[in-house]
Amino acid sequence: MIALRSSPSKAGVFLLLLFLILFMGGCALYPLQSVPVTEYRLSPAEALRTIDLRDSEKNFMKGVAQVVVHTEAGRYPLKLAIIAAKPASLRLEAIPIIGLPNFFLSIQNGLIKVYLPQKGEYYVGPATVDNMKTFFPLQVAVPDLVALLMGCRPTLPAEHTILRGSPEGGSYRVDILSRENNPLQSLWIDPANLFLTRWERFGRTGEPLLTVNFDEYFQDNDVSMASRIRFQMPGRDERSISLRYDGATFVPLTNEAERIFDLPVPAGVKTIILK
C-alpha cells in the first residue's frame, strides 16, 4: 500500500524555512558589531588628555627609519636617522647604502642649518615653513613636524577652541574647531586603547591640508609609539611620505643631548644665508 502524503501547510513551510535560516545563516540576522564609542563614556577632552599624558613622556627620541617620498616627479626611497626633542628641536641625517651621510639638517633655537657634503654647501637661517620646505618635502611648521615624527598630536591653545566627539566607523573622532566653528584639526582614536590612528589639519576654508596616519604601535621604556607614520599633503603639488621606524627609543633630554642638535659649519665649506 502506498501512503498518500498530505501537502504541508503554509505554517509548516514557514516554520521549516525559519529553522533553516536560523541554523544555516543565523549570523546574518545578527551581525557582529563593534562596541559603540558612546559606551566607552569618553568625552573629547578626556580622550585628548589621555593622549597628551602619554605624549608628555616623549621628551627626546632617537630613531632610524626607512622612508619613501612620493611626489609628482617620482618615488624616492631613503634611510633617515632622526633625533627629535620637543618643542622644536630636530636633526635629520640621510644614510646612503654605501658611504657616509650625504644630508644633514639641524633645527634648534629657531634656526635651521643644512649641510650638503656632495655640493660643499652649508645653509643657515630662520626655521620658517618656507625655509623648511626647501629641504623637507612637506609644508609643516617645525613644532608640528617634531610632534608628528614622535607620534604625537600637534596641540592648539585650548582657550580658543571647541571640542566635539563622535563615533566614526570603529574609531572615536574628535574635532577641534575655532570659536567661529571653523575646523582646525581632527583626530581619530582607537577606543580600545586610546591610541591615535589619524590626524588631520584644515585650512582657513575647511580644506584638508595634511593627513597623517599612525599604525603598528610598539612600546619602548613603557612609552607607546607608532612604528609606521604616513604623511599625505593633497593639492596641486600632492606628495606623501611613508616612514617606518626600524628602531626608536625615548630617553631623558639632558644638556649633553641638546648639543646633538647643533650643526657647526665645516671648514672650507661655502655658507649660504637663508632669509
Average model confidence (pLDDT) across the chain: 84
Look-up: residue for cell 636633526? 91
Q: What CATH number is attached to the domain comprising 110? A: 2.50.20.10
Over 60: is that where the pLDDT of 106 sits?
yes
In terms of average pLDDT, the best of 31-35, 59-63, 184-188, 258-262 is 184-188
Residue 213 — very low, low, confident or very high, per pLDDT cuts 50/70/90? very high
Contact between residue 226 and residue 243 where contact means Cβ atoms under 8 Å apart: no
pLDDT at residue number 220: 84
DSSP secondary structure letter of residue 113? E
- Residue 19 domain flag: no
Rounded to whole angstroms, the Cα distance separating 214 from 24 reads 40
Burial of 216 (0-12, 13-18, 19+ CB in 10 A): exposed
Domain ranges, residue 141: 39-273
Look-up: residue for cell 671648514? 267
Rounded to whole angstroms, the Cα distance separating 11 from 184 reads 60
- Residue 76 domain flag: yes
- Concatenate the DSSP letters of all residues of 156-180 into one string: --GGGEEEEEEEETTEEEEEEEETT
- Which residue did the predictor score with more confidence, 258 or 152? 152
Over 60: is that where the pLDDT of 9 sits?
no
- Residue 5 domain flag: no
164: β partners: 175
- Residue 25 domain flag: no
Over 50: is that where the pLDDT of 35 sits?
no
Look-up: residue for cell 613636524? 145
How many structural domains are present in the chain?
A: 1
- Residue 124 domain flag: yes
